Amino acid sequence: MMYLKDLGFSDEIIDLLNKNLPDLAISSLEKEEKVVTANINYLKDLGVHNYVDAFVNFYNMFLIDNDSFDEIFSKYDREDLVAKLEKNVAIMEYL
C-alpha cells in the first residue's frame, strides 16, 4: 500500500494500516489502487484536510466505485460537509 505515501500518508500510518487491517482488506486496497486513489483525491479536492483520518477509520468506503463515492458526497453542501468532516470524521459513517 505504498501508493498511499504519494497521497500524503506517512510511513507510520501506512505501517499501522498494514499491521491492523485484515489481510483481505489490504489485498482489496492494493488491488483497487486506482479506485482508492481517485476517492482520496476526491476528498482532497473537496478541501477535506483530515482525509487520512477518514481513510484510517473508514477505509472500506474508499473501495466504492468512483461514481458512487461522488454521489455520497455531492448531495451535501460542499462547505458544510467539509466543515463537518473537519470537526468529526465519524460522520462519514452516516453519509
Domain assignment present for 15: yes
Domain assignment present for 4: no
Check if the beta carbon of residue 36 is closer than 8 Å to that of residue 62: yes
Domain count, the chain: 1
d(CA 39, CA 65): 8
Domain assignment present for 3: no
Cβ count near 52 (within 10 Å): 19
d(CA 66, CA 72): 10
Q: What is the pLDDT of residues 24-41, one digit of tens each?
A: 999 999 999 999 999 999
Domain assignment present for 2: no
Domain residues for the domain of 16 are: 9-94
Q: What is the pLDDT of residues 37-82, one digit of tens each?
A: 999 999 999 999 999 999 999 999 999 999 999 999 999 999 999 9
pTM to 2 decimal places: 0.94
Domain assignment present for 83: yes
